[in-house]
Structure 1
Amino acid sequence: MEKKEVALQEAHEEEERESRLEALRKQVAIVAQFDPVRMMSDTTASKARMGIGIEEEFILQKPLFTLNTYNEYQIISDPRLRFELALREAGLHKTFYAKEILPKISPRKPPRKDMESTVFKI
């Protein structure tokens, strides 16, 4: 009698498990339609690379704000960066000497006083 109840209980649990799995399968079922024309057509990125449709999409690709950044010449002219690149090429950028000397190199133009950060000062 107990074996029948245990078997019946296991069958009931298996049915519940299957019903939960079926509900999960319905939730994650693929709803995309088969569209071979769309699948084989060019993507927006490939069209942009070929120059197709640039005029109509130019407005969308225009940045919202202008960037005020440094140019390549200004970055490379910094002696700290040039020294760090020389150390890196020599494989010495992680040495004690590099860690000691890099903070001591001053920039070409000293930074403004109001740009000094006090975040890491204790």
Structure 2
Amino acid sequence: EEANVQLRIISHSHAFQDEVKAEKDKENERRAGIEEEYMQTKLKSLERQRIEAIEQRRKEEENRRLEAIREEELAKERDIKAQQLDLYHAELAAEKAVIFERQAEIDHQEEIRKRDQAALNLKRVEYRREKQSERERARIERDEEEAREYQLQQNRLDALRNKVAKKFDHVRPDRERVLQNTNSVQSRMDSKVHKPLFFNPGYTVDELMQDQRFKIQLALREAGLHTSEYA
């Protein structure tokens, strides 16, 4: 009987141990499940972090790539602008050089023109001075000629005065003779009495030669003084 009791005790002990073991196994399984779940969650979290890290690196690499592209484009744009600026400066320098050269040519031509104009003005001044000298010489010659002509005229007048004075020295002042008709007038008056068939408005040679004024006119003509103020 004690053996049976002992067996039952042993049996209960084994059963208890089995229950304890079963509980431990369940606890272990639960813990294992929890750990598995934790591990799965951890793995998922790590995977998500890995994916996020990969995505972050990809974004960073993409950003770096885009930044590199942008920097390259900016560098190209800066190079283009620098080239354009250099080209602009070169064109500006060339244009300034052309303008400077053109202005230098204009100044040179202007200097030549001024020299030519100065030479021309000098020639004109010399020409006018020469013409003035010629006019002055001509005026002097003309004055001398007029003086000689006047002196010659005076000499002729003096000669004519002497000639007339000698020729009419016997003539004395006669008021009545001055107021009476001249021979030509008297002849016209007489001709009215013996008027010819055709009227003759002139004078005959004999009538003219009887007029002292006509004789004086002939003398002045012979002396070349009939157009003078004295005549």
Do both proteins adopt the same fold according to a TM-score greater than 0.5, normalized to the shorter chain? no
**Higher helix proportion (structure 1 or 2):** 2
| TM-score, normalization by structure 1 | 0.29
Q: Which has the larger radius of gyration?
A: 2
